[in-house]
Amino acid sequence: MDKQQENISENKQHQNEDIEQDIKKITPLNINKPKDSKDGVQSAINLSKLESLKFVCSSIRDYIGSYISIADTKAGVLIGIYTGIISLIVTKGPRFFEIYYKKWSIIEFITFGSLIFFISGVIASLLVVWPKTSTSKKQGLVSWVHISNYNSVDKYLMDLLSTAEDQIHIQIAELNYDLSVICKKKYKLLSLAFRAGVVGSILLVIIIVCR
């Protein structure tokens, strides 16, 4: 009787071991899986990271690019508005250069100050949209500045096709950083242009009220 119980117990132990082995085979993230399975999972993780990097880099580039376009559009609108106001001040306002400045009244001084602020706003807006050129001779695969440094399209295509995909995405990430720096500078200048216009407009309101 004792022998039978021992046999039953041994059989159950063997069955449990077989079940554990089967579970290990079908569990993808089990730490005891064979090396080939580990390599396969690691490859899948690397591929997932590469796809994520590709999506993120592309999304960030579009995001920054849209903000740069918005900044350029706003700057263009401000240039048009401020130029029109400057033209009105020059044609309809006091004749600054026909009167000695020591003989200016408070109206002339305020009008001249308003004119200076609007001119400053135009200059700041022009700097937003002013094309930036680079003297860099570095060659690259994603930035138009670096691509243009290739002597021929064949050389560019050769480097493009021979470069690993992750390296291309690294260059795209670097380009995104450069674009973000450009975008930040544009919005600083755009903010300055807005502030100059606000101050100029306040001075114009004061002139209208005083008259």
CA distance 97 to 119: 17
CA atoms within 13 A on the CB side of 9: 6
* Range from 13-22, 38-47, 80-89, 123-132 carrying the lowest mean pLDDT: 38-47
Residues 6+ positions from 97 with CB-CB distance below 8 Å: none
Q: Taken in order 57, 60, 64, 66, is the CA torsion positive or negative?
A: positive
**For residue 37, what pLDDT is reported?**
41
pLDDT, tens digit, for every residue of 158-200?
A: 988 898 888 888 888 888 999 999 999 999 999 999 999 999 9
Number of helices (H), then strands (E), belonging to the chain: the values are 6, 0
Residues 6+ positions from 145 with CB-CB distance below 8 Å: 134, 136
pLDDT, tens digit, for every residue of 37-94?
A: 444 444 444 556 667 777 778 888 899 999 999 999 999 999 999 999 999 988 887 7
Quick count: other Cβ atoms within 10 Å of Cβ 98? 6
Closest to 182 (Cα-Cα) out of 129, 103, 119 = 129
CA distance 164 to 168: 7
